[in-house]
Amino acid sequence: MIIAAGKIARYVRGISLYFGASAIPLMLSVIINPIIAMNMSPRDYAITGYFTSFNSLLTPLIQFYLIGYYLKQFFRLKRSERIKLYALIFKNLIYLSAIITIFAMAILYIYIDLIHPTAIFPVLPYLILAIAPLSLAGIYNLRLADLRIRRKNGAYFRLSVAHGITGMLATLLLVAVFHLGAIGKLSATLTVELIFFTTLIIAARRILSIDTHGVPMRPIILFCAPLVAGAMMQYFADGYTATYLESLGNVTEYGLYIVGASIGSYIMVFSCAVSAIFQPDFYHAIANSNRIALLKTLTTEFGIIILVVTTFIILAPYLVNVLTAGRYTASTYYARITSLGAITSAIFYRINSFSIATDHKTFYLFTTITGSLAIIFSMPLVTRYYGYIGGAYLRATSYLIFAIINIILLKIAYQRKHRIQ
């Protein structure tokens, strides 16, 4: 009994630290939001929203899903092999990511400035400020993933909270003190990532001297490439809406959409934290073919998320008023719509996780490609009749489109399996 109680206590402490690592940075963002709102115009919000909308497209490419491969192999390798793999990924997240980032910025510059000359914002310096942090963040994300899988919950908590506090201070300094608007908001992110990138490299500099020859690259590429492609397709569920709505040309309304979407995305972050807590139970139930345990886990997880989203929708007018210091209450409708994405994304990610856990990894790429095409063709029609609100609803329901496609694929696979048997 004492041993069992000790295990439960460690489990609860681990969950609390992990949830706190997500919740505290989120709370810090919420706390400073009114101050930031008083120092940023709708155009500032529109600029930051437009250029950061490319992040969901480029992050998987720049970081190449290398961290996912490391986590997959962690328990399969001996300690010496694991260290070599960590070193190889560490180096690639520095050098390879930097090269990809430069090419990505060049291509985006050509697209925005030459192919899409009707863009209502100047490309520079915003493009560099928005994309450069993606390359720098790779080392930080690898460190977090390593701490989490090794169950170093205390170190994970401290690193994550330190990152959040540094981000808060940098944002307040550049936006509220120096009044740099969009440049200040984007520069704050770049500054934080540069600080942690430099600090982590200095702290782990011996890793750079580890000989990684003999670590095969072929299985890494074969594993990562389809996942990178699939993850990039999710851009059409997140970033594409912001990119497309910019082309409608109404800077004020676009700024309101960005403000509302930003506030609504707080619920998305909370949803991800809740899902992470139930992830071990989810995989354990699948591994043991325990349908009852799986149903209980999903019911509890979705019940919490739906309750939080419902509460947010009811309180949204008051929350938006407080978080924007009364300046952007017109963005309330967009905040409510965006928060619905917390439910639809949770549904999709669980279905996708089930597909991967049951050896249907290719479903992810097919689902995101098919779903993305549906969104691309739907967006012009929806915005033509319903404008920015229509675009917001399409973004919130995009994950539901992905989920439906994934369910259809699972059903087809199930029928084929039983037909063969």
Degrees to nearest 5, angle at CA 350 with 345 and 356: 125
Return d(Cα 410, Cα 353) in angstroms, integer: 12
Give the residue from 21, 40, 332 showing the smallest Cα distance to 188: 40
pLDDT bucket at 71, cuts 50 / 70 / 90:
confident
**What's the distance, CA 193 to chain centroid?**
16
State the pLDDT at residue 182. Answer: 95
Q: Which residue has the higher pLDDT, 352 or 332?
A: 332
Q: Is 211 helix (H, G, I), strand (E, B) or coil?
A: coil
Q: Is 146 helix (H, G, I), strand (E, B) or coil?
A: helix
In the predicted model, what is the mean pLDDT of residues 167-190?
96
Is pTM beyond 0.75? Reply is: yes
Cis peptide preceding 60, ω within 30 of 0: no
- Domain range list for the chain: 11-216, 237-421
pLDDT bucket at 6, cuts 50 / 70 / 90:
low
Return d(Cα 358, Cα 365) in angstroms, integer: 15
Tally Cβ neighbours within 10 Å of residue 369: 16
Return d(Cα 242, Cα 240) in angstroms, integer: 5
Residue type at position 379: M
In the predicted model, what is the mean pLDDT of residues 148-173?
91
Q: What is the pLDDT of residues 372-414, one digit of tens each?
A: 888 889 999 999 999 999 999 999 999 999 999 999 999 998 8
State the pLDDT at residue 118. Answer: 58
State the pLDDT at residue 10. Answer: 63
In the predicted model, what is the mean pLDDT of residues 10-23?
73
Q: What is the pLDDT of residues 242-261, one digit of tens each?
A: 788 888 888 899 999 999 99
State the pLDDT at residue 132. Answer: 96
Q: What is the pLDDT of residues 113-151, one digit of tens each?
A: 776 665 667 888 999 999 999 999 999 999 998 988 887
Residue 104, pLDDT > 60, answer yes
Residue 84, pLDDT > 80, answer yes
Task: Name the percent of the chain lying above pLDDT 70.
Answer: 93
- Which of 81-90, 161-170, 222-231 has the lowest average pLDDT? 222-231
Q: Is 122 left (phi over 0), alpha (psi -120 to 50) or beta?
A: beta
Write the DSSP symbol of residue 210.
S
State the pLDDT at residue 103. Answer: 93
State the pLDDT at residue 113. Answer: 73
Task: Name the percent of the chain lying above pLDDT 90.
Answer: 47
Residue 12, pLDDT > 70, answer no
Q: What is the pLDDT of residues 273-282, one digit of tens each?
A: 787 777 767 7
Q: What is the pLDDT of residues 304-346, one digit of tens each?
A: 999 999 999 999 999 999 999 899 999 999 999 999 999 999 9
Write the DSSP symbol of residue 248.
T
State the pLDDT at residue 186. Answer: 97
Residue 7, pLDDT > 60, answer no
Residue 4, pLDDT > 70, answer no
pLDDT bucket at 197, cuts 50 / 70 / 90:
very high
